[in-house]
Amino acid sequence: MFVIDSVGFWNTGAPLVVLAILAMLLPRMLVERETRSHGKVATGILLSALILFAVACGLSLLLVYLRGAHALAFGSDGRTGPPLQMHLRLAAMTAIVWVPILGLVWFGHAQGVEARRGQDIAARER
């Protein structure tokens, strides 16, 4: 296991804040505002999750690079497997922050879909 650094604001707090903000903003950009489809909402949320995971991997690579190490070649044998696995694992660990936020955003979008559907039904019944 590779030890990168101790926990601090710039190597832990700031990346988590960036991911939390992205978890709130990405679905707003990827899901149609007036959609009446839960499928479109789910697709937007899943795409947001993939993007967030990729951003988390990128942040992990960037933090290692900023410390002066080559982010994918820690060993003398030049294999990138173990370091890449480390970055994927670190990216997965950040999900503890952005998955609950993404879940709440999904819930909000789903409520909006149901409200618009209810308005459509009420308008048809008049």
Residue listed under structure tokens 């002066």: 68
Q: Where are the domains of the chain?
A: 9-125
In angstroms, the CA 84 to CA 87 distance is 5
CA angle 69, 74, 77 (to 5 degrees): 140
pLDDT of residue 5: 59
More confident residue, 99 or 87: 99
pLDDT of residue 62: 87
Q: What are phi and psi of 118, to 5 degrees?
A: -65, -40
Contact at 8 Å (CB) between 100 and 20? no
**DSSP 8-state secondary structure symbol assigned to residue 20:** H
Contact at 8 Å (CB) between 82 and 90? no
pLDDT of residue 1: 42
Assigned token pair, 115 = 């409200």
Query: How large is the average pLDDT for residues 104-108?
Result: 97
- What does the pLDDT look like over 7-65, one tens digit per residue? 788 888 899 999 999 999 999 999 999 999 999 999 999 999 999 999 999 998 888 88
Tell me the pTM: 0.85
- What does the pLDDT look like over 54-98, one tens digit per residue? 999 999 888 888 777 666 665 556 566 677 888 899 999 999 999
Helix H segments across 35-94? 38-66, 81-93
